[in-house]
Amino acid sequence: MRCGKLRKETAFCALAVLAAAYLVFFYNLGAYSLKEPDEGRYAEIPREMVETGDYIVPHLDYVRYFEKPPLLYWACAASYKVFGINEWSCRLPNALAGLATALVVGLFAGRWFSRRIGLISGFILATSFGFFAMARIVTIDMLFSFLLFLSLSCFYDFYRERRRLSLFLSWAALGLAVLAKGPVALLLLGVTVLLFLWSEKNLSFFKEIACPGALLLFAAIAAPWFVFIALREKEFFGFFFIDQNLLRFLTTKHGRSGPLYYFFPVLFGGLFPWSVFIPRAAILLRRKREVRLLFIWSLVVFAFFSLSGSKLPPYILPIFPALAVVLGCFFDCMPKVGRPERIVYGVFFGLVAAAGVFAGSGLIENCLAGASDVVSVIRDIRGLSLGMAGVSLVMLYILARGRPRSPISLIPALAAFSLCVFLAIMLHSGVVDRFNTTKRLAATIREAGEERALVVDYGSFDETLPFYLGKRTYLAEFAGELEMGAAYPDAKAFFLDRDGVVRLFQSDRPVFVVAKAKRLPEMKRLGIADAEMTCDDERCLIPNRAAAAALRLIPQKRRKGA
């Protein structure tokens, strides 16, 4: 009887984990448009690789692009080859990396602590707001985080068990991490391992790590692409290693600076609802030897990017897996939920409930009567607002009754809250689809059916536009991150000044100009205007005479198609 009950409980847990994993990583994965700028960039580069067959030199908008190594591009290109070119296939490698990270966290914590801690740690990571978002937005950071934590885990296994396979796996994962984001992987893991061995008074162990066979494997994985591209492109070495790595850290030239405390709110929001317990976890477990490596890793990564002259929220994603294990250990040994945590959760859920009722009841629409676009969005997410309010009120009721006296009893409630939020967001993917993208403008251009048409992006680079058009866009009065590639002779013709745009617009060839709405006065002064201009998501599509004629034929084409 007891064995049968245990099997049923195990099967139920397995099904619950699979359902949660599907919801977090895969549900409605392709139901919303690619977002500017990162998803457009990381979708278009592999699309161009598949189109041109060049998997060595990355191109963005058919211009050389050397900012990042190619591992993510290759993964997306492979997905395109198997599943076709679309949003779902683009996001699939990223989602799989997120799932793999959660699994490695669970296995690591389960092996070195307990099965229960492993399950808790995996759930904490997967149900964190920031991890959920990053698993569904294509950037390099999720794949990078997976490979770094895999390398760290295998190193620890080798340190504890002296298994040679773990050492080779650690170096292999590190080589792939370098191929994902560059030499920063080697720096972060190297500093962490040195500090860990120093804290263990075992620096001599470093000789065992740096065995020739493992180093050769690392070099065989990480080095070939760098050698091949450096031989083909003379500008690569200086641009990638000096500009994109050294100067990105030492200076603010890339315009992504932030204060020293920049990542504290990012960490709190990214690991919410679990981040509330990080301070107490650090205090309670600071002397526990088993989590020392995880603390050192988290501090090294956090300090490195806090000191960097270039800061973006995803940069500290690599510490999320380590902190999830720390929090899993903390929940396993914490005696009770403290008053500070209750207050933080009470304030948060109270604010969410109030905001949800205010937005869901329609009261806010009266206050924003002049902002029709905002009111339209609020109406579209009325169900989401009321759902969030309801879930938050349930959480407030749980807290008010004092039910979660032990942290273990709080875990299901917080996990359920996160999953309800994720489900509500994905059920409103149609709303998410409309924002921060050029998908609908590109659809209008393609529907015009003019293969000869040229598309000019004026004053900015909308990186989703080449992907949705499936062809090159011209850039006018802007180069941005394509500045290095724009200097090549074969790219100069596709970067226009004001006079070049005007001449092109006044030609007999169909031309579509895409510009931000705030630039429309400038467009009119240049004579770039048309009565058939359409706008979507703060971007406007301005056709010249030939392109406007093609647009006027769209209704006729639709009737014929029907």
Contact 194, 202 (CB under 8 A): no
- Give the C-alpha separation, 162 to 398, whole Å: 47
Residue 371, pLDDT score? 58
Helix axes 115-126, 87-112, angle to 10 degrees: 150
Task: Kindly list the domain boundaries of the chain, sorted by start residue.
Answer: 25-333, 340-430, 439-561
Tell which residue, 389, 388, 380, has the closest CA to residue 419: 388
The per-residue pLDDT for 381 is 77
Per-residue pLDDT in tens (0 to 9) along the chain, 562 residues: 455 554 565 566 667 777 888 989 999 999 999 999 999 999 999 999 999 999 999 999 999 999 999 999 999 999 999 999 999 999 999 999 999 999 999 999 999 998 889 989 999 999 999 999 999 999 999 999 999 999 999 999 999 999 999 999 999 999 999 999 999 999 999 999 999 999 999 999 999 998 999 999 999 999 999 999 999 999 999 999 998 888 888 887 777 788 999 999 999 999 999 999 999 899 888 888 889 999 999 999 999 999 998 899 999 999 999 999 999 999 888 767 777 777 888 888 888 888 888 877 766 666 665 555 666 777 777 777 888 888 888 888 877 776 556 667 788 888 888 998 898 889 888 888 888 999 999 999 998 877 889 999 999 999 999 999 999 999 999 998 999 999 999 999 999 999 999 999 999 999 999 999 899 999 888 888 766 788 887 899 999 998 988 887 666 555 455 5
Nearest to 307 by CA among 258, 244, 241, 236: 258
Residue 531's alpha-carbon distances to 229, 281, 455, 524, 534, in angstroms, are 47, 62, 18, 11, 9
**Predicted TM-score (pTM) of this structure:** 0.93
Both tokens of 86, joined, read 């679309």
* pLDDT number for residue 168: 97
Pairwise CA distance, residues 452 & 438, whole Å: 20
How many residues belong to the chain? 562
Task: Give the chain's mean pLDDT.
Answer: 89
Give the C-alpha separation, 337 to 160, whole Å: 33
Nearest to 188 by CA among 336, 269, 22, 299: 299
Query: Residues near 161 by Cβ (< 8 Å), separated by ≥ 6?
Result: none
pLDDT at 405: 61
Residue 308 DSSP label: S
Other Cβ atoms closer than 10 A to 389: 21
Question: What does the pLDDT read at residue 559?
Answer: 47
Look-up of token digits 């999830």: 324
The secondary element (H helix, E strand) that includes residue 148 is helix 140-161
- The per-residue pLDDT for 1 is 45
Calpha distance 59→229 (Å, rounded):
12
Q: For 134-156, how does the pLDDT look when each residue is reduced to its tens digit (9 = 90+)?
A: 999 999 999 999 999 999 999 99
Distance, CA of 146 to CA of 149 (rounded, Å): 5
CA nearest to 40, candidates 23, 65, 19: 65
- Work out the percent of the chain whose per-residue pLDDT is above 70: 91
pLDDT in tens, 427-470: 888 888 888 999 999 999 998 877 889 999 999 999 999 999 99
Q: 91: closest CA among 26, 141, 150, 36?
A: 26
DSSP H stretches of helix in 381-511: 382-400, 407-427, 429-433, 439-447, 465-469, 483-486, 498-505
Task: Determine the 3-state secondary structure of 250 from DSSP.
Answer: helix
